[in-house]
Amino acid sequence: MAGISAAAERVSDQAQQGSGLQAVLALPGFRLLWLGQIFSQLADKFYIVLMVFLIAQNWAQTTDISSGPLAEAADLLRQQGVGSNPGLSSGGVGPDAQLITLLTTGIFAANTLPAILLGSLAGVWADRWPKRAVMVASNGLRTLITLAVPFMLLPGPSWLGLSWGYWGLLVITFLESCLTQFFAPAELAAIPLLVDKPLLLPANSLYTTTTMAATIVGFALGEPVMQLLRQVLSPLGISHGEFALVPLAYGIATLILLFVRTNEPPRQSTGTSVWADIKDGLAFLSRQASVRGAMLHLVLLYSLLAALWALSISLAIRVAGLGAERFGSLLAMVGLGLAIGAVLIAQLGHRFRRSVLAAIGLGGMGFCLVLLAQLRPNLWTTLALCGVLGLGTALVGIPAQTTIQEDTPEELMGKVFGLQNNLVNIALSLPLVLAGTLVGSVGLQPVLLLLALLVFAGAGMERPWQRN
């Protein structure tokens, strides 16, 4: 009865507040979940910044890559175009920058591997346990794990030319990412428990905007905030205050999520195996066309975004006034366009059919890719086209995520979001390698046109001219 009463109160609140972002933020439970998301997402990005900072400060000057396995790995990365930025190649800043690229690649691999291997399994367990408990436990354990990072700087033995501390960082990164795989499906599955269907579209718009903003802000402000913490804590007798940033952010998220009340019905043990639950999720996707189509949209979208990330340096080199070192400006414009699109969808998206939104988004992205390939590179034109790419991303991704939440039964949400996590991370990983390799062999323009062709095909499959 408590769950029904809470749901009735939410409907009443939403009827009074109207629609859009204001109505979503008026819901206390979702507001707490959103604040927890902000600190969790920032902690994820701060962690990567901290890893790069530690690598640059502690291993770039002392590790030799002139021979042995590290030299072979560096040669392989150069062949695949990783670190093709002139400042990160052996012909740019020098071997220190090349080593930072190599060791950071190891951190990225340790961070990505659990997402590919554990997404579905973690989603199953997220269904078997209360969502709030999963979110609180995963963030709490990440807080404890990241407290071990400073100990990796202690002297000790070396393996394959690298100190034990770097290998320890890889293990910590792997474990931290494993816990993230439990947090992600539980967080997505908690949104429909706190927000009723009429407000799921603006809720997902806010969620997507926050994710993109945390990525930009986290990577941009991570290093300055670490330095600030170092200066603030130093007069208190606490040295190396930068190590406090990541566990502090995870800890704040943990405390906030403790107060989230999802009113989730109690779970009854079914006695089925984990693999049987995964099969249930796959069977649901096979028979639920709307969810399957929405998930394909997300896979296509994230594959395109990963390819653009890989191509951004090559594209920036072509633009006068940018250059390779400012490729982040292009990604920032994509993020800005996505944020604008998210706000528009939150306020106006309910007026349009989602197949029309997806077709417009994919079609607009396709035209942007064609123009980027064909037009003479110009700074403001390129930035504007990147902004429209971000806008198209919002038109495709936010309605797709909302459809999955609306059409998936509550008892299957963790399984479905776990599978989504698997597919999305594969979609993010493969194009990073393939796009860079293709650019090296055939050039940037043909790759952009090939991506445009794939996107146009996706837009045509929506058949926006038909009324469903």
Residue 329 has pLDDT above 70, yes or no: yes
> 382: closest CA among 331, 337, 330, 340?
330
pLDDT tens digit sequence for 42-73: 998 889 888 888 887 776 555 555 545 555 55
CA 274, chain centre distance (Å): 26
Instruction: Quote the strand ranges of 107-195, DSSP E.
Output: 158-159, 162-163
CB 409 within 8 A of CB 281: no
**What three-state secondary structure class fits 80?**
helix
Structure confidence at residue 465 (pLDDT) = 58
Are the C-beta atoms of residues 295 and 35 closer than 8 Å to each other?
Answer: no
Give the model's confidence band at 171: pLDDT under 50 very low, under 70 low, under 90 confident, else very high.
very high
pLDDT at position 446: 85
What is the pLDDT, as a whole number, of residue 11? 42
Banded pLDDT at 170 (limits 50, 70, 90) = very high
Task: Please tell me the distance from the alpha carbon of residue 396 to that of residue 439, in angstroms, as a whole number.
Answer: 26
Least confident of 53-62, 173-182, 341-350, 378-387: 53-62
Stronger pLDDT, 430 or 152, i.e. the higher one: 152
**What pLDDT score was predicted for residue 464?**
58
Q: Report the mean per-residue pLDDT for the chain.
A: 78
| Residue 259 or 461, more confident | 259
* pLDDT at residue 172, rounded to an integer: 95
Q: Which of 209-223, 245-259, 295-309 has the lowest mean pLDDT?
A: 209-223
Across 18-38, average pLDDT:
86
How many separate helices (H) and strands (E) can be counted in the chain? 16, 2
Query: Among 179, 176, 174, 194, which residue's Cα sits nearest to residue 126?
Result: 179
Question: Measuring CA to CA, which residue among 136, 173, 174 is closest to residue 251?
Answer: 136
- Which SS3 state, helix, strand or coil, does residue 18 take? coil
pLDDT-based confidence at residue 266 (cuts at 50, 70, 90): low
- Asked if pLDDT for residue 134 goes beyond 50, the answer is yes
- Which helix (H) or strand (E) segment is 81 a member of? none
Residue 137 is predicted with a pLDDT of 95
Residue 16's pLDDT is 40
pLDDT at 234 over 60: yes
402 φ, ψ to 5°? Answer: -65, -40
Residue 437: pLDDT above 50?
Answer: yes
pLDDT for the residue 123: 76
pLDDT (average), residues 254-258: 95
115 token code pair? 């997402």
Determine the Cα–Cα distance for residues 26 and 39; give it in Å rounded to an integer: 20
Confidence class for position 144, pLDDT limits 50, 70, 90: very high
Average pLDDT over residues 405-409: 85
pLDDT of amino acid 86: 36
63 vs 186, higher pLDDT: 186
Mean pLDDT value of segment 266-270: 63
- CATH code for 272-468? 1.20.1250.20
Distance CA 118, CA 131 (A): 17
| Domain boundary assignment for the chain | 28-198+215-263, 272-468
Euclidean distance between CA atoms 278 and 298, whole angstroms: 20
Alpha-carbon distance of 9 to 129, in angstroms, equals: 25
Confidence of residue 344 (pLDDT cuts 50, 70, 90): confident
Tens digit of pLDDT for each residue in 195-225? 888 888 888 888 878 877 787 777 767 778 8
Distances in whole angstroms, Cα of residue 281 to Cα of each of 104, 116, 353, 384, 386 = 35, 17, 26, 40, 36
Average pLDDT in the 447-457 region? 86
Asked if residue 389 lies in contact with residue 368, where contact means CB atoms within 8 angstroms, the answer is: yes
Long-range contacts of 346-350 (CB under 8 A, 24+ apart): 346/20, 346/21, 346/24, 346/201, 346/202, 346/205, 346/206, 347/19, 347/20, 347/21, 347/202, 349/201, 349/202, 349/205, 349/398, 349/399, 350/19, 350/198, 350/201
Tell me if 28-198+215-263 shares its fold with 272-468: yes
Give residue 149's pLDDT: 92
Is domain 28-198+215-263 in CATH 3.40.50.720, yes or no? no
Closest by Cα among 175, 120, 454, 102 to 306:
454
Category of 347 on φ-ψ map: left (φ > 0), alpha (ψ -120 to 50) or beta: alpha
pLDDT tens, position by position, 72-113: 554 544 544 444 443 333 334 444 556 676 777 788 888 888
Can you state the angle between helices 95-128 and 131-146, rounded to 10 degrees? Answer: 150
Q: Smallest Cα–Cα separation from 58: which of 145, 168, 144, 143?
A: 168
- Per-residue pLDDT at 267: 64
**Would you state the structure tokens that stand for residue 214, as one six-digit string?**
């945390």
- Residue-level pLDDT at 87: 36
In degrees, rounded to 5, the angle at the alpha carbon of residue 216 between the alpha carbons of residues 418 and 423 is 20
CB atoms under 10 Å from CB of 169, counted, come to 26
Q: Is the four-CA dihedral 310, 337, 36, 232 of positive or negative sign?
A: positive
CA distances from 4 to 9, 200, 256 (A): 9, 18, 24
Q: 121 vs 136, which has greater pLDDT?
A: 136
d(CA 298, CA 191): 18
> What was the pLDDT predicted at 8?
41
